[in-house]
Structure 1
Amino acid sequence: MESAGYIIKGKKIVTVSRLGTIENGALVVLNGKILDLGNWRKLQKRYPSFFVIDYSAYVITPSLVDCHTHLLEFAPSSLYPDLPIDHFDVGKALLLDTLSSGITAVGEQICGHPHFDFSINDYRKAVLNMPLDVSFATTSISIGFEKLAHFTAVTHSKIVEKADLIDPNVVQMIAQASDYPGENIFINATPANFTVDEVPRAGEVIYTLEELKRIVEIYHQCGKRVGVHVAGEYSIKMALDAEVDVLHHAHGITDELIEQASKQHVEIVATPMGGTHLPPNSPEEVLRLVNNNITVSISTDAYLPPYQGNTWLPFKDQTLRGPDVLMLIAHPAMNLLKENNYGENEILALLTANPAALLGRENSFGRLEQGLDANFLVAEGIPGLEITSVESISKVFFRGEKVIDRKKRS
């Protein structure tokens, strides 16, 4: 089908582009790209020889983008700690599970794993020919054990010292290897997936403002934007004063800091399931961010134990959750945006166009628009807004090929 032209007919197409929502719409695909889109009857006449696939009972949307994950490096051993596993085989299986959830692009963090001495090139090779896009953020990381443990993507499984985290040569190597502004720097020590008693120093501030400024300058000199793992008023203020480009988590952000982030055009990756030592992003917080014209992406930080005490999500335990819950954790914020008169295209952008742009792939996917990759979903409703279950996604297309076909049960 990839080389043949075809037309997808839908009940409506939510393009997340300047075209908005097209009722009784159609999508024309040729050679894995979107050739045209618009009113079904007009396109039927314009392309009479193209094969028609009738999904007129369904909504067509861009496929989803999860721009902050830990699927390949940390998830395999976290999910199967007591089993002998092939690390990359498990990682690739997790990516296929991600694909079945309607996600055709992920942003993966490579931090340096204490038990696996893999390089960034090993991870890149592992995902070659996978039917989804993987972008990598190379990082340094500090884990909040009683004795802080520091690692970097370029030193692999070797524990390093704090001084190494600010060494200009190390920072430059990390920056040059990074595809996009993920959590390149952990301003706060992370709890990761450890229990509270194992990481008593989670949340501790690792850098000074001057150190951060020097790191940011190196990234910008390399032509790279920089993202940070950050939570808490003091740390977020320091990140903004250092002129970072993207805040990941930003748990505990205040109205004053939201205003500063807006003025500096800083983007925020919200993780409503958790990811730091503080309570995660609430629906009301996401609304405040969007109201202040901040570009927001919602992500899972998978695989992650949900933050306990989170009142807006249904999880009752700390079982590690993956990308299959992206729509579920995004729904409360997306629904609140709808209640505050945001349109469905603006809202869906938090799971599609915004994270695609964060990955630097806005000219490839994230919207349904002429010339972009034909990455789209055939679903029973708008993902995250009208549907939250992966079972409500009937088909997933990646570069024009149908890669997931979930048959409806009779």
Structure 2
Amino acid sequence: MNYMIRGKKIVTVSDLKTVENGAMVIENGKIAEIGPWEKLKKRCPDMDVVDCSSYVITPSLVDCHTHLLEFAPTSLYPVTPVTHFLAAKAILFHALSSGITALGEQICGHPLCNFSKEDYQKAVLDLPLDISFATTSISIGFENLAHFTSITQSRGVTQFDLTDPVLVQMIALESDYPGENIFINATPANFTEKEVPRAGDIIYTLEELQQVVKIYHTLGKRIGAHVAGEEGIKIALEAGVDVLHHAHGITDEQIDLTANQGVEIVATPMGGTHLKPNSPEEILKFFEKEIPVSISTDSYLPPYQGTSWLPFSNQSLKGPDVLMLIAQPAMQLLKKHKYDENMILALLTNNPAKLLGKQNQFGRLEVGLDANFLVAEGVPGLEITDINKIKSVYYKGVKVIDRN
């Protein structure tokens, strides 16, 4: 279906920036033209028009660090292996209804999930979502550390196995993008503090980490790492890790090093490590140093307690529907510092699309890209946080969520 859609304004997150009283021509699921409504109306007088002139049109959201398919179903529902993916699809629909059309999923290995990357790919094949998979190893901070990998699935491995060159190479070859490929610190995952007393333990020596990074780079792959704390971030930067996921507890000196080395950061203001998560002020520092930064949920997670920027009163698990909510404090701080709304919205759209290697497909509203966009009552994250204020979600030009 080919049509034109009109908006009160179009926040393109591209060189066009914001087009007031704008319109887009959609042809065969792609963006064919963007410009002022009056101009496009004259050029295409016979084209069907979707009138959203009371609303803002923006790129749809990208959550580049999630655990919706592997850990979330077993955490949220009484699933068995037979019903696991039934729950997973319900969770993915919730993400879609929250304005998210692209995800970066971590496949870590899980004691209750004997599924391969191919199993996860098949389960989501027909959904109106673009899902990239980071294959990983994981260390969970129980009293007796537990280690799993995407390759060995539900079978635990030893700490020694985590640096086995053959296993590392297998993980690296299957990974679609630099997600949480390696856990430099043991993770609390989504367990309570009492259950994971060793969350934060550093798993690798610098020499071991350097060998793992070398394997990824030799294969032409970038590597991302779960890391928090000054010591862990220090060895991550020294070893040549390409993307820091979380980077909670990063120092000002390490922010400078991150910028100088061209390393990217996936900020998770809700939590995800043993330390206090990324504050709005910290994300502003990343911006000021021109570090490519994305904001992600790492969901499903219990939100960190004791921050001034999170509104949650308990530790019940939170999912992708809070992406706008946890991003808003940083986004509004950036606005106070005179950053353009397009640069700010890139935190939830173009920057994570680039991290996934999908910047030529989505993340911006630009001629030739997929028509993945939202019709909303305001700019997501910056002006609105309630998913009910997202009136429509489009994926490849097709309306897949409708609240009108």
Pairing partner for 1:140 from 137, 141, 155: 137
Pairing partner for 1:154 from 151, 168, 180: 151
Pairing partner for 2:287 from 281, 287, 290: 290
TM-score (norm 2): 0.99
Find out whether 1:117 has 2:114 as its counterpart. Answer: yes
Tell me the secondary structure at the aligned position of residue 344 of structure 2: helix
Pairing partner for 1:315 from 284, 288, 312: 312
Residue-by-residue CA offset, 1:113-166 (whole Å, 9 max, x unaligned): 101211111001001010111100000000011111100000001110111110
Distance 1:99 1:108 in 2: 14
Cα pair distance change 1:362/1:82, threshold 3 Å: closer
Checking the alignment, whether the CA contact within 8 Å between 2:353 and 2:362 is kept in structure 1 is yes
Q: Indicate the residue corresponding to 2:76 in structure 1.
A: 79
Residue-by-residue CA offset, 1:214-261 (whole Å, 9 max, x unaligned): 111111111111000000001001101111110000000010000000
- Deviation of residue 81 (structure 1)? 4.5
Find out whether 1:9 has 2:6 as its counterpart. Answer: yes
Q: Indicate the residue corresponding to 1:302 in structure 2.
A: 299
Cα pair distance change 1:74/1:228, threshold 3 Å: same
Find out whether 1:270 has 2:267 as its counterpart. Answer: yes
The AA in structure 2 aligned to 1:378 is V
Q: Indicate the residue corresponding to 1:394 in structure 2.
A: 391
Find out whether 1:169 has 2:166 as its counterpart. Answer: yes
Pairing partner for 1:257 from 254, 258, 279: 254
Q: Indicate the residue corresponding to 1:49 in structure 2.
A: 46
Distance 2:120 2:41 in 1: 43
Note the residue ranges of structure 1 that are not aligned, 5 or more in a row: none
Tell me the secondary structure at the aligned position of residue 160 of structure 2: helix
Cα pair distance change 1:147/1:26, threshold 3 Å: same
Find out whether 1:64 has 2:52 as its counterpart. Answer: no
TM-score (norm 1): 0.97
Distance 1:85 1:236 in 2: 40
The AA in structure 1 aligned to 2:176 is D
Tell me the secondary structure at the aligned position of residue 198 of structure 1: coil
The AA in structure 2 aligned to 1:250 is A
Residue-by-residue CA offset, 1:342-371 (whole Å, 9 max, x unaligned): 010000000000000000000000000000
The AA in structure 1 aligned to 2:249 is G
Checking the alignment, whether the CA contact within 8 Å between 2:73 and 2:79 is kept in structure 1 is no
Q: Indicate the residue corresponding to 2:23 in structure 1.
A: 26
Distance 2:222 2:78 in 1: 35
RMSD of aligned Cα (Å): 1.0
Distance 2:309 2:276 in 1: 11
* Dislocated runs of 4+, deviation >6 Å: 82-85
- Deviation of residue 92 (structure 1)? 0.8
The AA in structure 2 aligned to 1:124 is Q
Find out whether 1:329 has 2:326 as its counterpart. Answer: yes
Count of residues in Structure 1 that have an aligned counterpart in Structure 2:
404
Note the residue ranges of structure 2 that are not aligned, 5 or more in a row: none
> What are the equivalent positions in structure 2 for 1:326-365 lying under 5 Å apart?
326-365=323-362
> What are the equivalent positions in structure 2 for 1:205-284 lying under 5 Å apart?
205-284=202-281
The AA in structure 2 aligned to 1:317 is N
- Deviation of residue 323 (structure 1)? 0.2
Q: What is the aligned-residue identity percentage? A: 69
- Deviation of residue 83 (structure 1)? 8.1
